[in-house]
Structures are given as C-alpha cells and as structure tokens.
Chains A and B, each alone.
Chain A
Amino acid sequence: MQRLGVFVCWCGSNIAATVDVDRVVAEAKVQPGVVFAQDYQYMCSEAGQNIIKDAIKQYGLNGIVVCSCSPRMHEATFRKAAEAAGLNPYMVEIANIREHCSWIHKDKEAGTEKACVLMRAAVAKVLLNTPLKAGESKVVKRALVIGGGIAGIQTALDIADAGFPVDIVEKNATIGGRMAQLDKTFPTLDCSSCILTPKMVEAKTNENIRLITYAEVEEVSGFVGSFKAKIRKKARFVKEDVCTGCGVCMSKCPSKKGLNEFNMGLNNRPAIYIPFAQAIPNVAVIDKTQCIKLNTGKCGLCEKVCTAGAIDYTQQDEFIEEEYGAIVMATGFRPIDASKFDEYSYSTCKDVVTSLELERIMNAAGPTGGVLLRPSDGKHPHSIVFVQCVGSRDVSGRGKPYCSKICCMYTAKHAMLIRDKYPDVEVHVFYIDVRTPGKNFDEFYRRAAEQYDVDYIKGQVGKVWEEDGHLVVRGVDLIANEQIVLNTDMVVLATAIEPDPTARKVANMLTASIDTNDFITEAHPKLRPVESPTAGIFLSGVCQGPKDIPETVSQAGAAASKVIGLLSKNKLTTNPCVAHSDELLCNGCSCCEKVCPYGAISYDTHLINDHGVKETRRVALVNEALCQGCGACTVVCPSGAMDLKGFSNKQIMAEVEAICL
C-alpha cells in the first residue's frame, strides 16, 4: 500500500505567480496513493525541508513528489531530506513546475493546468518507484590537466600543493600557452613573462607534477573516480632527458624557413628549435615536415653538432596509459582568423596586424627586439589605428556573437605603452563600446584616454586599403555623425578569441557538454561554474568562456579545489539507476551486449527456477559498477528482460498515461 506525500513549492512568486498552488495541492490530494499534500513558500529552505521530513515521519510516507524547480537544481537536496527522515532517497520524484511551467507560461489557468498534469505524472511514476541503494566505486588519487597554459599550470600547482599527483598534457613542445606570448599584462603593466615563467618552473620542479609536453590525449574511458586515458606523446626526435637546451643545433640547422609560431609567424625559425628562451622543458624539438634529414635522409647536421648526443631521428610516438580520478579541461583559446574580414585588408597588407602580433612586436624577445617597426618596411610608424571588435559581437555569422571580453583592456594597454614609449606616434581607437568591468580597469582605460591622449572614436571601420606606401582607414565617428578618413602607418585588429580547435574533440572524448561556440558548458552557470555536467570533469580558463588572466587564475584555483575535494574521498557513491536483467525473461540473445557503450553486460549460465521448472540458461548480467544507466540495452531487448532502475518501462509508460489522461 503506497502512502505518498506531495509538496508544492511557491518558490516565492516564481511559481506562485503563474501557478495556482492551492489548486495543485487540492488536485494532488485526490491522486491515487496520496495521503498528504502541502504547499510552502520555499520548499528547499530549512523550514521547507522540515515540512517534508515531519510529514514523512508523521504520515509514514513511503514515496514523495516535490513540485518545484528542475531536478537538476534540487533533486539532490530533497533526496537528502528524505533520507534524513528515513525514506529511501530514490523514492523521491520532482515535478518541474518552474523551468518547465511557471517561468514560460504567462496565463495562470494554463500554467496551473500544466502544473497539475506534471504533478500527476510524477505521482504516477513514484507509485512504481522502488528503493534503490547506491553502490561504491574507487577514487584514483591522480588528476589529469589537459592544457598547459596559465589555467592548466595554476590548476595543477594547486592540486599538487594539496598533495595529489597531477599530469599536465600539453600539445605544444612547451608549457606556457598564450600568456607566454604576451608582453605586458593589464591593468598593472606587469611583465607577463616575469610572472608566468616562475610558475612554469614551479610546475616543472614540483614533485607531484608530471609534465607531458608535445602530447595529446587520444582516448578516455571510465567515469568519475576512475578514468583511463591514453596519451600520445609525439616524437620530438630529441631525447628529452638528454638535451641540455644549449641551442647549438638551432644555429647550425640549414632549414631555417619555418614560420615561428611563437612569434605568430612574423619571423622564421629553424627546423630544430626551442619554442622560446624560457620554454619548459627547455628541450629542442624537430619539425618533421621541415627537417631535411627526416624528409630526404641527407643532412644530419644537428646530430653532428649535438655534444650531448640527444638527437634521435628514429624516435617514434609513444603512448602513455594512466588512470585518473578527475580530469580538468584547460584547452584555452586562439585568436580567430582575421583574413575572414577582408574589409580590413589583413591578408593583403603587411602593416595590418592582429593584437597578438603587435604583442610580439612590442616584446623584447620578439621579431623586432621590442622596437615598434612596421612589418612591411621596418620603418618607425607615426600613426596607428586600432580597430575593436573584429569578429566579436558579430551576429552576421562571419564572426562570434559574444564579447571577447579582453580586447578593450589590451587595446588600452597597447595604446598606453606605445604613447609612453613613442610620444610622437598618434594613436586612434575605433570602438563600438568600451567595456571595462573589473578592478582598476576603468581607471586604466581613462588613463589611456586622458593622460596618454589616445584618440578614442566611437564608430566602426568600414574599409582599410593601401595607398602610396601608407594605409587609409575609412570609418564613421558616431558622435560627430560623420564619415572620417585617416591616413595611417599601421592598423591593429582586436580579433575575437575562440576556443582552441582541440576543445570540441576533447569535450567529445570526455562526454562534456559543449555549446554552439565550442565553449564547454558548466554544470550551473552561477552555482557550479567550474564543473562540467559530466561528473569528474572540471573546467579551467577560456575553454569555459572568455576570460582575462586574473579571472583565469581564480577559476583555475576553484577547479583545483573541486578536484582536491573529489580526490580526498576514498569512495564515491555510484548512480544506482542502472540496468538490470530479469533472468526469467532473458533468452540470452546478446542484443544488449552489442549496444552497451561501456562493456557492462556479460553472459553467464545460471540455474533458473522458471515457475517450478529448473533449468540452466545463458542469461545477461549487468556489471553495476560499469553501467552508466543510458538505457540503450532496454530498448534493444526483444524479450523485455532488460529494464532500467529509476526509469523503468512501467514508470515511463505511467508518466505517458498520466500526461495523456
């Protein structure tokens, strides 16, 4: 005999404004099995939870329905409350009458009707619920961080400091990421390298951190607490433990026409190279597409000059297989391709550069040694025009619909640095809006505009072209309401940032949700910003959304604390909503085994007592530790033996019937 309780939440006015809560309670009271129904302003509050607990005890309830917000929000809260009152937590069902009802319907009559239907469906389902018991699974006390930029480094350092081993997998030959390419950082004008490189060294020397550079994660299986990853360590053709980083090979290499990625292709590098002077590990790598020896068999000069004997042309890709309890995505970003915006003539005029290219030009270790020179002729420019929002806030489909968040600030930084070092250079900035939320950000921008006399022009640029050895910029000044044409020597495009192209591949591997812009979706935009909805996957840095360095570092720390919290546990409770097979119905056909993505189904011969007839049959067995509860097997089962706990055929049928009543 079922004794059900129904609890209807007002959620302040969020539900009560468009749902007649009293009517839902009245309707609940006449549902089969319901012995108690009550409403309350905030069911999730302590007082609300006490109403539930008291009712469970007082009325001996053996199942409850909470009509409230999404189960993704408070299912866990109400399950805990039920458990505290002695009810099995899986005897709780949620009717989502907020996100799926009150928030989207303005008409109270319609909203109330729908809320009643949703309540009825939940009651129909809970009538068929059975108490479930969560199992336990192990926690491998090691974390994997994918990406070795500032986000990945900071996350790894924080996890390592708590005493857990961490592997950083970085696809490039060195860690450091985008931040290593920057010259100065806003709003303090700190030297980027000076604050980043000590962290890189720390990551290398920390005994809990293992750096796996020039490597990519190829496969991930398993689940929270025990993921298995296969990592491909690409052949560097240089023995990492032998190379001393002396750089002699670089100076002798005859194949010098490779584009220097670190300098955004503004100058060249040899086929064997160390990405930059402070690279970690400080070990050379051979670009196999460019190396003469690897392509023709001749040359071998680097091997001859290497006194350490570190060169190995026969090196093969290696595979590392490791188990992890948690995985952090810190895959970072890249600037979008500016040549898509041909009105700015980026692909045809050398003196039109992106902001990241300007960053390298301004850097003392960059292609010009930190002297501001025009890329076309190496002359000192007298005027520079900055164009904001190139591909950001662009709904035309060419660019990105979002604000890249960092461009206003780094342009103010560039403008200020240029005006400070070269007071003769005129600086104009075309902008849509200047967005400077952040500590000391607006002060910084005002300093650029007021103290350094940077000419901010509200309006967009329509066209940039070359004429008689200089550039012409045609734009609009929205405040003066007129078209303006400027002659200038250089144009700098503040290109939008986009998630690194590997992000989607990695997300798919980790089964982490990803949005249409390829940013990884967080479990909750406000309350769980560093977790993916997939348990055990955490997010750090720009892979989750545009961020500046301070924000990235804070998020990295937050992700690390979540990982530490997870790794500190000795056991995890597993989801008990898993598949199970009815031995009496199973005919041993193997259909379910073929569709299971986790290999959770196996077969064994069992002695079955089929209504008094004993016989040995081959039947399916579900490994509850491996089953993730997708339910693919339940549909494919021809005999109806396979079912999913918590989402059984009967339960879903009952919901369907209740909705169609």
Chain B
Amino acid sequence: MSVNVSVNEPAVKAAAENAAGANTENKEWRPRIVAFCCNWCSYAGADLAGSSRLSYPADVKIIRVPCSCRVNPMFILKAFERGADGVILCGCHPGDCHYSTGNYYTRRRMALLFSMLDYIGVERGRTRVEWVSAAEGARFSAVMNDFVAKITELGENVKVGDLRCKK
C-alpha cells in the first residue's frame, strides 16, 4: 500500500518531489520509516513531542520496545527486506539507561550492523541511532524531521527489498 501524504516542511516536500520524478506511478512517493523507541526515554520523548504538538512527517511509525537493547539487528534487516526505506533506533542517553547498561549494548551492536549494511550496499544514511530522553520532545521531533528529509533525499530502498513483498 502506498502512503499518500501531503507534508508541510518545504525541504521535505522539495526532496519528495525530486524523488517522485523517478516513480512510475502517479502517486507521490513517501518513504516508509520504522522507528524503534525504548519505553523509558524515547517513547516518552515521542509522547512529549505529541503532547507539545511538535509535528514530524506521518511516514514515521513507532514500535515500542522495553529497551533499545531489545532491538535485534534482525528486526532492522527484516524491515529493509519488507520495504522500509529507513530505520531509526532511539534509546536513552548513554549513562541514563533505565536498565543501566542496555544502550551500551545497542551502541556496540549497531556499530557492527552499520558496517555490515555498508558491506551489502545499503546506504549508511538509512539506519540511524539517536539518544532521546523523556524530556526531549523537541529533539525527538527535530530528529524525525531530519531523518525523514534525509531518507526522502536517498529515495526508495531497492537494495535489499524483497520484491515479493511489494504489492
């Protein structure tokens, strides 16, 4: 299912229009973005962004996980295989993890995953790790706006997308 969205941010819109040129369909192409957010910091930060009405594009869909260290690299690969154009993983700031050390594992695991994604040719910009605290609603919104703009510039993810998954 293609998602048809009108966007307020001019930069995002301009980039989207460029990307749409390559699309054979008439519909404006919008990226699919999966965001994993830890329950304690980033998910609460996203909630704060919401209650503060700090908008970001609707392309971002959030999955709640207890801790960023719950995110198996397999989930990210699965997302790309299924046609996600970008995956962002958000956790508590280093040192502030609710489980003390979870985000340190995340940091190391993601460093490894990034080099693997590099190796298989998925652009580096498609995956990102960000630390967002429960009090940083504004930061959450800014991070998502920036990420969506970058993914829109990169265009559709064709490298590892399984064509059988596309309708």
Contact = CB atoms under 8 A, between A and B. Distances in A.
Interface of A: 70-73, 96, 98-101, 103-107, 109-111, 113-114, 117-118, 121, 507-508, 511, 513-516, 521, 533-534, 577, 595, 597, 628-632, 634-636, 644, 647, 649, 652-653, 655-657, 659-661
Given A103-B53, A104-B50, A106-B8, A513 B96 contact: yes
A428 to B, nearest CB: 37
**Is chain A's binding surface mostly helix, strand, loop or mixed?**
helix
Given A99-B47, A656-B34, A660-B32, A514 B96 contact: yes
B135 interface: yes
A508 B135 CA distance: 15
Contacts of B133: 513-516, 521
B15 interface: no
B70 A630 contact: yes
Contacts of A644: 66, 70
24 contacts: A70-B47, A103-B50, A104-B49, A104-B55, A110-B4, A110-B58, A118-B61, A121-B63, A511-B97, A513-B41, A513-B96, A630-B98, A635-B69, A647-B70, A649-B74, A655-B63, A656-B63, A656-B75, A656-B82, A657-B78, A657-B82, A659-B34, A659-B79, A660-B82
B95 interface: yes
Given A103-B51, A103-B53, A635 B71 contact: yes
B51 A106 contact: no
Contact of A113 (B3, B40, B72, B84): B3
Interface size bucket, B side? 35 or more
Contact of B135 (A103, A110, A121, A521): A521
B101 interface: yes
B14 interface: no
Contacts of A632: 67, 69-70, 99, 101-102, 105
B23 interface: no
B115 interface: no
B61 A121 contact: yes
A104 B61 contact: no
A577 to B, nearest CB: 7
Contacts of B124: none
A100 B95 CA distance: 26
A641 to B, nearest CB: 13
Nearest to B33: A659
Interface string B84-113: 100000001001111111100100010000
Given A101-B58, A635-B70, A513 B75 contact: no
B156 to A, nearest CB: 13
B64 interface: yes
A105 B83 CA distance: 23
A575 to B, nearest CB: 9
Interface string B107-127: 001000000000000000000
A104 B56 contact: yes
Contacts of A110: 3-6, 58
B54 interface: yes
Contacts of B51: 99, 103
A200 B73 CA distance: 55
Nearest to A107: B6
Given A516-B135, A632-B70, 4 more contacts: A110-B3, A121-B63, A634-B70, A660-B32
Given A96-B62, A513-B41, A533 B70 contact: no
A227 B61 CA distance: 36
Contact of B65 (A73, A631, A661): A631
B70 A107 contact: no
Contact of A635 (B40, B109, B141): B109
Given A70-B50, A100-B46, A110-B6, A630 B58 contact: no
Contacts of B66: 577, 629-631, 644, 647
A109 B65 CA distance: 28
A508 B67 CA distance: 16
Given A99-B47, A515-B133, A631-B69, A106 B62 contact: no
Contacts of A521: 133-135
A632 B32 CA distance: 27
A100 B3 CA distance: 17
A660 B44 contact: no
A114 B61 contact: yes
Contacts of B44: 72, 513, 533
Given A632-B69, A657-B82, A99 B46 contact: yes
A647 B83 CA distance: 22
B16 to A, nearest CB: 13
A71 B64 contact: yes
Contacts of A508: 95-96
A635 B55 contact: no
Contacts of B40: 513, 533-534
Contacts of A661: 1, 82
A656 B78 contact: yes
B22 interface: no
A114 B64 CA distance: 16
B5 A652 contact: no
A111 B58 contact: yes
